Amino acid sequence: MLSAAIDALGLLLDPFRLVFMFLGIGVGLIVGVIPGLGGVVGMSLLLPFIYGMDPHAAIAMLIGMTAVIATSDTFPSILIGVPGSAGSQATILDGYPMAQNGQSGRALSAAFSASVIGGVIGALVLFAILPIARPLVLAFQSPHLFMLTVLGLCFVGLLSGKHPFRGIVATLIGMLIATLGSAPTTVTFRYVGDSIYLMDGIPLAVLAMGLFALPEILDLLSDNRAVSKFKTVSSGWKQGFQDTIKNRWLVLRSSALGVAIGAIPGLGGSVVDWISYGQAVQTAKDKSQFGKGDVRGVIAPESSNNAKEGGSLIPTLLFGIPGSGATAVLLGGLILLGIQPGPSMLTTDLSITLTIIWTLALANVFGAIACFALSQPISRLSTIPAKKFAPFLLVVMLVGAYQNTQQWGDLIAFAAIGLMGWLFKAYDWPRAPVLIGFVLAPSIERYLTISSSRYGWSWLMDPIVIVIGLAAIALLIAGVRAKKSGLGE
């Protein structure tokens, strides 16, 4: 395997293929900086151009793009409180307050250094686990997946601030929004009335931007101020890197968590950052600053967000089961190139698999370097008065919302959810639980239906189910104790 890896590196370092890898990195940087786009959009943009290309060059371009998005999407999350993509939502909770307090440089530096470590760890784990991953992935059955989604839902207790009841209600609201449209296991349409738009449900990007982005922009406009209260960009770049080294065990734990969750189809991208954030809060001795500008609240989700890319490629390459939205498009790209995911990825197409791993590692390193180089000019966005950049940002968000289904319903939903997000913020209700409930509700319903129809209720006695259930109970207890410690949102 080692000699094959060296040969694959030689193939990737061919100047022709390197050009396409850097082209993918450039596209990833741009897509990540623009709020509401993300890996699915970036992958979809590049997919039409790979037909007839050299497979190694095409793969280098696609993987280079998707690997860097997980790093560059940090810019809007920290600087303006707008999620750059689904995997950068939890970063807002502490990254944005740091920018408001003049610590944008420190927050970005910590995020980028944690991202590159997480991304490289994800690639290394992918390389190490490929030969033994098949039985591990097959070991997860619907009851286990159901309990894992319930475990993810229990993190709401750590993200509800001092008001656990409000967090529970917010989660239920998110789950209720998720029930709009078609049921995940039947062809039934729920709560849609005569609306054709609602048949497909509310897109995740629309919900995330409405909850977090629009309320912040409206508040900035009403106060007529910049994101940061300081007129100059902070110079804490070195401190942010030191923060990552200081919290190296948190980086390693979060990266391992990112790989593990990314490898489970159906969980992955949209929830891994929340789970990682929750475990960071749970394991911290001093929880008082989380939600107010604690750098650990940036390091944990960013390292797991990048590491999950390696994990999501495990089921994609071995079984043809996409671990995330971006890998679903990648799957189509592989088929377009004449590559059939499955056991052949470890035999006849091993060079393609190893090229993917090398690209994942190198793109994370070069992408982080590019983000560091661009940090100073981009960080100045946080010092510009809102009235100068808010109109442009609103247009970008409206375009980002509209591109999901290209229906006017996206814009109406964006405005309605934005109003709800503004009310939540005004009355001190937590917004993160709404997003968690929305993301996990379809998986909970799907896996519960499959489990009960296949096993009856005997699956409740499964040892793995019991262990995960006990972990969920422990997590709820930890959430209650966090309230007693005075943890704020």
**pLDDT tens for each residue of 95-145:** 888 888 878 888 888 888 998 998 888 888 888 877 776 666 667 778 887
Per-residue confidence (pLDDT) for residue 386, from 0 to 100: 65
Task: Specify if 289 maps to a domain.
Answer: yes
Residue 439 CA to residue 433 CA, distance in Å, equals 10
Residue 322 lies in a domain: yes
**How confident is residue 62, by pLDDT bands cut at 50, 70 and 90?**
confident
Residue 470 belongs to a domain: yes
User: What b-and-e string marks burial along 147-167, b requiring 16 or more CB atoms within 10 Å of the CB?
Assistant: bbbbbbbbbbbbbbbbbbebb
Q: Which residue has 């966090």 as its token pair?
A: 482
pLDDT value at residue 489: 39
Question: How do residues 181-214 score in pLDDT, each as one tens digit?
Answer: 777 666 677 777 777 777 778 887 788 778 877 7
Judge if pTM exceeds 0.75: no
Domain-embedded: residue 489: no
Residue 488: pLDDT band with limits 50, 70, 90 = very low
Please report the sign of the dihedral spanned by the C-alpha atoms of residue 76, residue 437, residue 93, residue 28: negative
Are 152 and 274 within 8 A, CB to CB? yes
Task: Of 233, 221, 232, give the one whose Cα is nearest residue 385.
Answer: 221
Domain residues for the domain of 276 are 2-484
Query: Do the domain assignments include residue 129?
Result: yes
In a domain, 390, yes or no: yes
Helix (H) or strand (E) holding 182: strand 181-182
Residue 62 in any domain: the answer is: yes
The one-letter amino acid code at 210 reads G
Provide the number of structural domains found in the chain: 1
In a domain, 78, yes or no: yes
pLDDT tens digit sequence for 67-90 = 888 888 888 888 877 776 666 778
Find all residues with CB under 8 Å of 311, minimum gap 6, and list them: 122, 125, 126, 258, 259, 260, 261, 262, 263, 264, 268, 323
Choose among 232, 237, 255: nearest CA to 295: 237
